Structure 1
Amino acid sequence: MQGKQDGTLRRSPTVTLASLARELGVNVSTVSRALSERPTGVSAATVATVRRAAEQRGYRRNLAARTLRTGRSFTVGMTVARLTDVALASVYGGVDEASIHAGYTTFVANTLDRADLRRRRLDLMLGRQVDGFVLADSHLDGAAIGQLDDLRVPHVLALRGLPGRLSVTTDDLVGGRLVAEHLLGLGHRRIGVVAGDVLASTGEQRTRGFLDTLDEAGVDVPQHRVVPGLFDVRSGVESAAQILATDPDVTAIFATSDAAAIGVMATLRDLGRRIPEDVAVVGYNNLDLAEALPVPLTSVDSRLFDVGTQAMRTLLELIGGGSPGSLSLEPRLVVRASTVP
């Protein structure tokens, strides 16, 4: 905007590809290629000159024109159970970074792990003509996926996977096994499990990998010591209290998320139990806060940001007509003071 002599404002002339081309003395197609995400057929010097001029003149892409030209909206939808969940926020961070590099915008919606809300949020984003979806809230029943199959909308599952579905996950069976091997190596035999959401592949597989490994070692974990719930602090508090009420001699507790592990630690504190001298605690996801806790938390690094980045790249390949395969990233156990003093 510029000021007139009478004090009113007038809008600055709109900067277009054509006006930039005239100013620089090049073809409009040269300017267009130089401003694309992956410039081809243009020298690096020309790209730098065009982009510098575009920035100085305040050029903005005409997204509506690009949509008409390509048939794409250059937006993707992402569903999560709760974006307040730091683990899911980390996955979203990876999705968003990859989308920025590709010139896409991401819409993210909370579904609270409710089937009815999931359908409504998908319908809302479909109404915005998104090019595809990253789904980070899938349940083992696969209820939401059929809707996208019927409409032939490209989609990729992230973090939570389903058999036969295109997904980017962490190998949670291996992650559970790593925790079991660690606790067995420390001599623990009376162990409790805060299993998380057993309708999500993450909760089911982390628990199964853990229990199968203990079973192979001849260590029995009775059902009353395996308590399902959610992946949050409150579930950790309540589940740990339930485990310790039925079996106060437990020497270790595995929680299938760091948030739940923090709840476990709170319960142990309130009961006067020391960590790890009385009860060892292991979490899952290796959030940044795990290392900063008063007793640093041993946790499985599930590479959340990488899961998001790879999920978005996989979706873009699918949107572009490719045939990508599922990815299962390798987890690693990060040992801290909550299991080893």
Structure 2
Amino acid sequence: MERATRADVARAAGVAPSTVSLVLNGRGPEVKIAPATIQRVQDAARDLNYIPNAAARSLRRGSSRLIALLMAELPDNPFVPVVHTVLTTAMIEIQKRGYLLLPLFQSSNDPSDAQTIRSVLGDTQLAGVIRETTSAESFTSTLLANLGIPIVAMSMINTEDTQGASALVSIDECAGVKEILSEHLNVGKRGHAVFLAGPNTNHSRQLPLEAAFGTGFTLLSLPDWDASSAYQAALRLLSDNPDITLIAVADDSQAPGVFQAATDLDRRVPQDLSILGFGNQEPASSQALGLTTVEWPLREMTQGAVEAMISAIEKPRKAKKAQRLTVPTRAVWRSSVARP
């Protein structure tokens, strides 16, 4: 079946092809086309499954409806649900506003991988780029700046670095942790807190713990995010130091190992040991454990980045300083942290 043309829609609606263009570009009311005629054109286009030529429309408008989401490589675990949340939220929010998403991932450190993406950025007519900056990536700010289109930076962690973007949307990791500590029974009393980090420690979610416990705080970086590694670490730490009253993990995926270590050592949760998570990416698993955790607002962060991007495209403004939006984390109380 041949693709319907603008002329086909015009014949079906009994109007000129120029009228079809005006109506389908949303300019019917502006040029005072009768509502009945607008409806007739829209019905004809729908009946014929007419889809305007995107390339031609972009040339006529002098603009694009395509927004790129540029992400660097993230570890497989526990970041698979993270990538899924960011990607699907960006896709839905961008599409709702009449644009399309072009996801671009740097999947390796191979120079050819980065060069391929550079070629796509250079050869594709884009309306803007949302740049996820949580993990280090090899795309230079100069390259993006030279595209001459809006760039919005988006970070899943605390940061003030805009990476040369016109807007920065980031997450305050500490807010939810502080909220929980403000009600934690053992803060300010005798005790020791341990933070189990993963392979990377570029986050700051441990800082409120360090501030609250002072010299009674220990950070331990583990080689991976597996619950088995957290189990071995927690088992050793709890055996060596009976004063530990709180173990916090950088991600909820590590928490089952800490619970198992507490069980094996007859440490009651939360009476003897509080366990604090971070992420809440798989609420059902955390709920089953009774894990008190911190909600990582990835969806709200992505929505904010899309909003900033659409605003930069449709309402451009000259500003000396980048706009900043910070989305706070929040406490998710269950039963694993002792409260008064």
Match of 1:183, SS? Answer: coil
Aligned mates of 1:43, 1:17 — CA distance in 2: 19
Amino acid at match of 2:280: N
Specify the alignment match of 1:16 in structure 2.
5
- 1:228 deviates by 3.1
Structure-2 change in CA distance of 1:21 and 1:180 (3 Å): same
Specify the alignment match of 1:228 in structure 2.
221
Match of 2:215, SS? Answer: coil
Aligned mates of 2:110, 2:90 — CA distance in 1: 23
- 1:104 deviates by 2.5
Specify the alignment match of 1:6 in structure 2.
none
- 1:258 deviates by 2.6
Q: Unaligned 5+ residue runs, structure 2?
A: none
Could you tell me the percent identity over the aligned residues? 22
Residue 55 in structure 1 maps to residue 55 in structure 2: no
Residue 284 in structure 1 maps to residue 257 in structure 2: no
Amino acid at match of 2:169: V
Specify the alignment match of 1:98 in structure 2.
93
Specify the alignment match of 1:163 in structure 2.
160
Contact 1:290 1:299 in 2 (8 A): no
Total equivalences in the alignment: 319
**1:258-313: per-residue Cα shift (whole Å, max 9, x none)?**
33435544655676755434432222232243566421322222321121111122
Structure-2 change in CA distance of 1:45 and 1:305 (3 Å): farther
Match of 2:245 among 234, 242, 251: 251
**1:52-95: per-residue Cα shift (whole Å, max 9, x none)?**
43232111231221233324262413315348521232122221
Match of 1:297, SS? Answer: coil
Aligned mates of 2:68, 2:336 — CA distance in 1: 40
- 1:335 deviates by 0.2
Amino acid at match of 2:330: R
- 1:226 deviates by 0.7
Contact 1:76 1:133 in 2 (8 A): yes
Amino acid at match of 2:236: A
Structure-2 change in CA distance of 1:259 and 1:143 (3 Å): farther
**1:305-337: per-residue Cα shift (whole Å, max 9, x none)?**
121111122123233434572211232211012
Structure-2 change in CA distance of 1:189 and 1:242 (3 Å): same
Aligned mates of 1:207, 1:117 — CA distance in 2: 37
Specify the alignment match of 1:7 in structure 2.
none
Amino acid at match of 1:220: T
Contact 1:98 1:312 in 2 (8 A): yes
- 1:338 deviates by 2.6
Residue 332 in structure 1 maps to residue 324 in structure 2: no
Equivalences for 1:15-34 in 2 at 5 Å?
A: 15-34=4-23
- 1:96 deviates by 1.0
Equivalences for 1:158-237 in 2 at 5 Å?
A: 158=154, 159-160=156-157, 162-165=159-162, 166-184=167-185, 189-196=191-198, 198=200, 200=202, 203=203, 205-212=204-211, 214-215=212-213, 219-222=214-217, 225-229=218-222, 233-234=225-226, 237=228
TM-score, normalised via structure 2 length: 0.75
Match of 1:220, SS? Answer: helix
Aligned mates of 2:208, 2:108 — CA distance in 1: 23
Specify the alignment match of 1:8 in structure 2.
none
TM-score, normalised via structure 1 length: 0.75
